[in-house]
Amino acid sequence: MKPPVRILLQTTIPTTEDDWSIARFSLLHRYLASLCDEAGNPLYAVTARDRENDAAGNDPVLKSLDRSTFDELWLFAVDVGDGIADEECAAIMRFRQQGSGLLLTRDHQDLGSSLCNLSDIGAAHYFHSKNPDPDVSRHFPDDIYTPTISGAMAGSGG
C-alpha cells in the first residue's frame, strides 16, 4: 500500500470571521480527504489550518515546514502583504528545494502580495502596489461586475 500524500492546506491570515479563512476551503479539504485508490486506501492525508502567529510573529508550522512530514503545501495567499514572514519564506524555499510540492494561489489587486517575498517564485506574481506588471497594456479594469476591484488581476488574465 502506498502511503497517502500529506497535504497542508494553509491560509496566510489568522482565523477571521467573514474573511478568507480556511473554512472557506472546506469543500476542497473534504474532497481531497475523500479520494481513495482502487483498494479503498486514502490518496491524501489533508491538514487544513489558518495562519497562527507565535510570540515572534511567525507561524509555527510554516517556519518549520522543511522539517515537517508534509509532501505538499497548498498556500492560499489571502493577505494584503503581511502573510508570510522571512523565517517562513526561508523554510518554504527549503521545502521546495527538497523536492516537495508547492501550490500557491492568490487573487486580485494586492490580495496575497506576501508571495512576492518568496524569491524567484514571488517574482512571477504581479500586484498593484508590489511587483507591478511592467507591461502597462495589461493594466485595465476587467471585472465589470465588481467595480470596487480596480484593475486587472495583475496580468494574470482573470
What is the tens place of the pLDDT at every residue in 113-124?
676 676 777 655
Nearest CA-CA partner of 78 in 52, 53, 106: 106
Mean pLDDT of 17-38: 94
- HSE (side-chain half, CA atoms, 13 Å) at 95: 28
Residue 56 per-residue DSSP state: T
Instruction: Average the pLDDT over 110-134 and give the result.
Output: 63
Per-residue pLDDT at 126: 59
Instruction: Name the residue with cell 495567499.
Output: 77
Report in angstroms the alpha-carbon separations of 45 from 6, 10, 49, 59, 73. Answer: 5, 14, 13, 21, 12
pLDDT in the model for residue 23: 93
Nearest to 89 by CA among 124, 119, 133, 47: 119
Residue ranges of E strands in 4-150: 5-11, 44-49, 72-76, 101-105
Under the banding of pLDDT at 50, 70 and 90, the label for residue 34 is very high
3-state secondary structure of 81: coil
**Residue for cell digits 517575498?**
117
What's the predicted TM-score (pTM) here?
Answer: 0.80
Predicted local confidence at residue 104, as pLDDT: 82
- Local structure of 117: helix, strand or coil: helix
Q: What is the pLDDT of residues 57-92, one digit of tens each?
A: 999 999 999 999 999 999 988 877 778 898 998 999
- pLDDT, residue 10, reads 96
β-bridge mates for residue 46, sequence order: 7
Going along the chain from its start, the domains and CATH numbers come out as 5-138 (3.40.50.2300)
- pLDDT class of 3 with cuts at 50, 70, 90: very high
The single-letter DSSP state of residue 34 is H
| Cell reading at 94 | 527549503
